[in-house]
Amino acid sequence: MKASNKHLLRRLLIAPTVLLAGAAFSAEAAIVVDFDQSKPTSDIIVSYDPAGGTPSAYAWLYQPNYKRLLGESFAIPGEAGESYQLERITMKLKADAVTFTQKSAFTITIYEIAKVTSPPLSDVVVSTQHGTMQPTKTTAPAGYFTFNLDTPVLLEAGKVYSYVLEFDEEGSAQSLNLEYNGVSSSGKAWQSQNDGAWSSLGFTYVYYLEGTKMIPEAGTAPLVGSFLLLAGLIKGWRTARERMA
């Protein structure tokens, strides 16, 4: 085996350890929020922002004695084996966005779920990241705003995921009116009130998931195939030896 292939094989063997280490640190990631953004036009993985219709809004909030978590499910398009790095989540505020009076800490959790009609949480936590926000004006400006993830999140084509928005602490005026416009077959909006059960909202939020399509390194696939074949042969040899014993 060439030296370069040995190094590549070693990288493949240690990759799971690196991924697990990355997952352990993902909770410390810091999300940066940008308000007054333009409508995304490039690096879009999947989105929902229909023209026309009758846009309305439903608030993400945590005010005295009332907490509301919001979730949005979505399916990743593409062929089997394709994947993307999610880097940004963009949503839209309505013109009547509620006044913000403090700097607010929040959490975004991304789950892998069974289907778009499933509640937006599961035992498969893909990423948990935190941040703080305060609109640059007393009233949150209407229009698009973006969560810039500190750590990119790997999403696989053909799978279904969800992201959940949660304010970490109660605040006297802490609410964002997020725009929705009809309902999509590829994603659903959900809510949980005061940490209760999740319920479907019957619509889909306006959103854009932006990032980078992953391109496998040249020569990686054949090497992985050879490695798996070798592992299968070893397993078969061990099974045969046990039967002969």
Q: How confident is the model over 156-195, as pLDDT tens digits?
A: 999 999 999 999 998 877 888 899 999 999 899 999 999 9
Give the strand pairing for 189-193 and 104-113.
unpaired
Express each pLDDT in 109-167 by its tens digit.
999 999 999 999 899 999 999 999 876 555 556 789 999 999 999 999 999 999 999 99
What's the pLDDT band for 204 if we cut at 50, 70, 90? very high
Residue 71 C-alpha from the chain's centroid: 11
CATH of the domain at 186: 2.60.120
Asked if residues 184 and 142 have their Cβ atoms less than 8 Å apart, the reply is: no
Helices assigned H by DSSP within 47-176: none
CA atoms of 232 and 235, how far apart (whole Å): 5
Whether 11 is in a domain gets the answer no
- Asked if 88 and 148 touch (Cβ cutoff 8 Å), the reply is yes
Residue 199's Cβ-count burial label (10 Å; 0-12, 13-18, 19+) is exposed
**Domain span at residue 115?**
30-214
Domain tally, the chain: 1
Distance, in Å, from the CA atom of 93 to the CA atom of 135, rounded to the nearest integer, reads 11
Asked if residue 1 belongs to a domain, the reply is: no
Task: Report yes or no on 22 lying in a domain.
Answer: no
CA distance 204 to 182: 6
pLDDT number for residue 36: 79
Sequence-separated (6 or more) residues with CB below 8 Å from residue 209: 44, 45, 46, 47, 74, 86, 88, 89, 155
Look at residues 118, 123, 122 and name the one whose alpha carbon lies nearest to residue 200: 118
Whether the Cβ atoms of residue 181 and residue 53 lie closer than 8 Å to each other = yes
Please say if the pLDDT value at position 235 is more than 70.
Answer: no
Does residue 17 lie in a domain region?
A: no
Query: Is residue 20 assigned to a domain?
Result: no
Q: Quick one: pLDDT at residue 230? A: 56
Residues in a beta bridge with 209: 46, 89
Residue 16 C-alpha from the chain's centroid: 20
Residue 198 inside a domain? The answer is: yes
Length of the chain: 245
Is residue 79 in a domain? yes
Lowest mean pLDDT among 11-20, 26-35, 219-228: 11-20
> Can you tell me the mean pLDDT for 195-214?
96
Could you write out the DSSP letters of every residue in 67-79? EEEEEEEEE--S-
Q: Is residue 237 part of a domain?
A: no
- What pTM value is reported for the model? 0.75
